[in-house]
Structures are given as structure tokens and as C-alpha cells.
């Protein structure tokens, strides 16, 4: 890998974020010396002139597009228009500008939210178009899915080497723990730790707990992305995951145990469960570029909980 990355100039959009920081670390460990991260304060990737300026400033020959406007079920329900527009316009203009600039390879990280609501489990990449996504995150999922269409169309017409990955839900140290926009694992960790420290008798959890999800540790995801950037040049989308699922009820009970919260878990069925089940078939990633996840779920959760407890602000 070091020989492959030596001398390459790589732009990582979203490279200062949760997943992006892990990807940048993995690139550096793999031998990439010239990595350009366009910070949002300097480059608005919704603006074509800013995209063109970033390309000129970076002199990149590869782009890994991770930048996204994203959140949990609540944030998706409150911002469907923003989530659709910002994600679509960033990707569409960036891919076109990259093509015109002669970028040699473009990797887009999509979303598992693009899959149909009732996809048979495990999700195979061929099922991506067999239905409409779950309603609460459909605008975000469809915006990201259009970048797959664009990537394949540009490959067919222009010979543009654009590849597309579909990671399952991510978690790990450095995740977003803001309750207004966080995903399920950081939201539950924060609830349980804060309730434990306050001595609360119970926490409230959204939905019925019957929905299932698959979770990929962020460092594993970063390794998969870098492997694909190095080894995969195909037109078909590729799932990134671990190949197993857990119900939200079991997840909540596990996080309560690992955080030491001993109170009651009260479920609020008036809140949405989201997609009923979510788990990926990961055979294509294994066969195409040798990726398989290496972090056990409990180990990953323990590291995430430890990071949150070491960085949070405890009221005095």
C-alpha cells in the first residue's frame, strides 16, 4: 500500500469530521503524504467556484468524497429539504468539476439509507433499486443515491473512474454526541452515562426497540475506504459492514450494561422506529478488495464509551 500511495495527492472532503479524520489517519499510515482537506470555513462545497478553487489549490489526482449533511431520525424529519439539497448539490457539482479537472479517481461514500425500506436481509447491492427508502431518511438517501447514478453515467460516457461505497451505520470515538443530531449509539451512550451520573430511575428510548441495525466501527470503515481507493475500480456499488445485526432493544440494554446504568428503559412507541431491519451482505467488499471488519462490537462500544466519558463536560 505504501508504494501505491507514495506521491499521490488526495483530497478528502469532510476530512475533518468523524469518519474523515479516521480516513486521513489511515491514508497517512498507508503512505499518503499529500492529503488536502477542504475545511468548510474556507470552501463551501455547495458553491461551484469554491469547488473549483479547492481543486486548484489541492492539485489532487484522487478525491475521496465524505462530506455530508446528516443526522439521526429526528434531524432527518426536521430537515428533509436541507438534507436533500446540500448532499445532492455538493456531490453533483464536485463530480462534474473533478471530471473536467482530469481527476484520475473519485470515490463517493454513500449511505445505507439509500436502500428500500423493506429490503430483504442481508441487503445485497442488487436490491438498491427495488423500492423506496424508509420515509424519514428518504430525501438524504435519495440525494446520495443520485451520486451513484452520476458516477455510473460518467463512467459510461466519459470513462471517469468513479466508485461508490455504501457503509452501514458507523460508530466510534469522536462521534457526534449532540442529542439534537446524533445517531442512535452516541445518543444512547449519552443518555445512559448522564442518567447514571444523575442517579435517574429511568431513561426514555425512541420507538418499540424491535428495529434492527448493523454497526461498523469507524476505524474499520476508514480501512475499507482506503482499501477500495487503492484496489477497486468497478462500476457497481459495494457495501461496507460487518454482516450481522442487533435489535435496538438489545443494543440499548447492552449500552446500559456497559455504562453501568441500572435504571429502567422506557420505550416510547409514538416515536418512529425507522427502517425495520438493516444488515448488509459484505461479500462483494471481501472479494473485490479484501475488506472485512476486525473490531468486535463490545470492544468498539467500550472504546466509544471511554472516549465520551473522557471528553464530556461534567456539570460542576
Residue at 303 is within a domain: no
**Each residue's pLDDT tens digit, 153-204:** 999 999 999 999 999 999 999 999 988 778 899 999 999 999 999 999 999 9
Domain count, the chain: 1
Asked whether residue 1 carries a pLDDT value surpassing 60, the answer given is no
Question: What CA–CA distance (Å, rounded) separates 298 from 244?
Answer: 13
Residue at 25 is within a domain: yes
| Helices vs strands, H then E, count in the chain | 11, 12
Residue at 311 is within a domain: no
| DSSP characters over 203-218 | EEEES-S--EE-EEEH
**Each residue's pLDDT tens digit, 221-260:** 999 999 999 999 999 999 999 989 999 999 999 999 999 9
C-alpha closest to that of 281 among 123, 164, 110, 129: 123
Residue at 257 is within a domain: no
Residue at 270 is within a domain: no
Sequence-separated contacts (24+) of 310-315 with Cβ below 8 Å = 312/177, 312/190, 312/193, 314/197
**Each residue's pLDDT tens digit, 13-67:** 999 999 999 999 999 999 998 999 999 999 999 999 999 999 999 999 999 999 9
Asked whether residue 102 carries a pLDDT value surpassing 60, the answer given is yes
Q: How many residues does the chain have?
A: 316
Which residues are identified as catalytic? 140
C-alpha closest to that of 211 among 307, 151, 134: 134
CATH number at residue 81: 3.40.50.720
Question: What CA–CA distance (Å, rounded) separates 103 from 298?
Answer: 40
Residue at 307 is within a domain: no
Predicted TM-score of the model (pTM) = 0.93
Asked whether residue 307 carries a pLDDT value surpassing 60, the answer given is yes
Question: What CA–CA distance (Å, rounded) separates 216 from 170?
Answer: 5
Q: 38 with 11: CB under 8 angstroms?
A: yes
Q: What is the mean pLDDT of the chain?
A: 94
Residue at 198 is within a domain: no
How distant, in Å, are the alpha carbons of 87, 227, 251, 273 from that of 212?
26, 28, 9, 9
What is the arithmetic mean of pLDDT over 137-142? 94
Asked whether residue 312 carries a pLDDT value surpassing 90, the answer given is no
How distant, in Å, are the alpha carbons of 14, 208, 265, 266 from that of 253?
32, 13, 8, 11
Residue at 39 is within a domain: yes
Domain boundaries, position 133? 2-172+214-245+277-295
Alpha helix segments (H runs only) across 30-137: 48-58, 73-78, 80-101
Amino acid at each position: 500500500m505504501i508504494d501505491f500511495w507514495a506521491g499521490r495527492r488526495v483530497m478528502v472532503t469532510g476530512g475533518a469530521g468523524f469518519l474523515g479524520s479516521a480516513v486521513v489517519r489511515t491514508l497517512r499510515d498507508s503512505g499518503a503524504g499529500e492529503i488536502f482537506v477542504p475545511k468548510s470555513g474556507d470552501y463551501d462545497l455547495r458553491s461551484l467556484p469554491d469547488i473549483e478553487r479547492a481543486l486548484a489549490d489541492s492539485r489532487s489526482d484522487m478525491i475521496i468524497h465524505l462530506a455530508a449533511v446528516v443526522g439521526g431520525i429526528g434531524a432527518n424529519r426536521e430537515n428533509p429539504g436541507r438534507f436533500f439539497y446540500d448532499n445532492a448539490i455538493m456531490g453533483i457539482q464536485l463530480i462534474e468539476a473533478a471530471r473536467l479537472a482530469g481527476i484520475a479517481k473519485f470515490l463517493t461514500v454513500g449511505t445505507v439509507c439509500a436502500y428500500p425500506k423493506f429490503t430483504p436481509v442481508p441487503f445485497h447491492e442488487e436490491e438498491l433499486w427495488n423500492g423506496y427508502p424508509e420515509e424519514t431518511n428518504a430525501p438524504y438517501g435519495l440525494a446520495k443515491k443520485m451520486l451513484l447514478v452520476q458516477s455510473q453515467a460518467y463512467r459510461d460516457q466519459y470513462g471517469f473512474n468513479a466508485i461508490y461505497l455504501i457503509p452501514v451505520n458507523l460508530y466510534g470515538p469522536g462521534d457526534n454526541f449532540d442529542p439534537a443530531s446524533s445517531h442512535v449509539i452516541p445518543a444512547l451512550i449519552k443518555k445512559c452515562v448522564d442518567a447514571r451520573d444523575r442517579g435517574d430511575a429511568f431513561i426514555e428510548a425512541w420507538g418499540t426497540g424491535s428495529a434492527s441495525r448493523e454497526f461498523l466501527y469507524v476505524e474499520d470503515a476508514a480501512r475499507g475506504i482506503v482499501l477500495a481507493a487503492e484496489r477497486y475500480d468497478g462500476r457497481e456499488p459495494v457495501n461496507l459492514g460487518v454482516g450481522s445485526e442487533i435489535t435496538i432493544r438489545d443494543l440499548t440494554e447492552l449500552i446500559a450494561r456497559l455504562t453501568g446504568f441500572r435504571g429502567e428503559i422506557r420505550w416510547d412507541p409514538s416515536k418512529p422506529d425507522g427502517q425495520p431491519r438493516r444488515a448488509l451482505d459484505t461479500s462483494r467488499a471481501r472479494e473485490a478488495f479484501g475488506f472485512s471488519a476486525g473490531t468486535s462490537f463490545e470492544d468498539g462500544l467500550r472504546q466509544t464509551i471511554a472516549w465520551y466519558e473522557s471528553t464530556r463536560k461534567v456539570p460542576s
